Amino acid sequence: MTFNKLSVGLALSLCVTVPALAEIDLSGSWAAINDEDAMERGAGPNPDDWAGIPFNEAGRARALSFEQSTISMPERICWFQTQWHIAAGPFSLRMWAVPDPLTGRVQAWIVGAWETRAPMTIWMDGRPHPSKNAPHDQTGFTTGVWNGNELIATTTHIKSGYIRRNGASSSDEAVITTHFRRHGDMMTVALFMNDPVYLTEPYVLTRSYNLSTNPVSIGGPPCIVGDEGVESGRVPHYLPGTNPMTDEMFKLYGIPKEAAMGGAETMYPEFRDKIKDKFKLPAKCVRNCGGGAGAGAN
């Protein structure tokens, strides 16, 4: 009887201290591969270019009201982005595990902060998400589960934030599902945005990272609110029907307005057949042409 008790105790101890074989180590510094989605870096995407975003009418109206000087409002200069910015932003990642002090198992994974994004804590201990009426912020509340060697994190309770830097927004009812999958010294992160307020279908964004021996910074210098030309109390915006940028994609690239304005059908290759007769090849490409400013259209 004593031997059986010892055997059971040893087995339980091993179950507690040895991680599941499906789990893998995601800790380390992961350098962003920024030639992916190159137009999202630097100066950012063209204004009013929302092709591929499954907007509904409310999402499109919200985006059309966006004026770039909004982010220069004193109360928004130091405003954090949501966790969607893991893939939408240009920065590298640093991840580490936090062990449970009693069992030694991973209680949480931490994705370190950036200058514009708070750290993400991915709770792995089975705790539930808060009530839907609990306070929301830019950080949100995130829980994770393993699916084989893939960590799947679900983030709720986030405030409204940007999907793209040109005004495409998510609402405070959005849910972000983030998939972390490691392939040796490379990691792929895929984010799915489900937003019943502004989107009709999930919006997907992926990023790739290389494992680096150079430590990635997990926070920038303190953000100091300064004068960026927008006085307190003024909210830069465009009223309905007054946004002057809605024809820019057609003027620059001959891309029809109905494509630039987004919508679920613009996500799929078949949409090109629908608008091909409306496409007009510009005589000269002058921006984001691949061959430098002023490169010919062909």
Indicate yes or no: pTM above 0.95: no
Torsion of CA 42, 46, 49, 52, to 10 degrees: -30
The confidence score (pLDDT) of residue 290 equals: 63
Enumerate the β-bridge partners of residue 142: 122, 155
Q: What is the pLDDT of residue 41?
A: 77
User: What pLDDT score does 235 carry?
Assistant: 94
Block residue for tokens 């109390």: 233
The pLDDT tens digits of the residues spanning 29-59 come to 999 998 887 777 777 888 999 999 999 999 9
Q: For the chain, first and last CA: distance in Å? A: 84
CA angle 90, 93, 96 (to 5 degrees): 170
Query: b/e string for 218-247 if b means 16 or more Cβ within 10 A?
Result: beeeeeeeeeeebeeeeeeeeeeeebebbe
DSSP 55: B
Q: Which portions of the chain are predicted below pLDDT 50?
A: 1-3, 5-21, 291-298
Please provide residue 4's backbone torsions phi and psi, each rounded to the nearest 5 degrees.
-65, -40
At 140 the pLDDT is: 96
- What is the C-alpha to C-alpha distance for residues 50 and 22, in angstroms, rounded to an integer? 38
- Name, in order, each residue with C-beta under 8 angstroms of 273's C-beta and a sequence gap of 6 or more: none
Secondary structure (3-state) at 156: strand
Determine the pLDDT at residue 256. 93
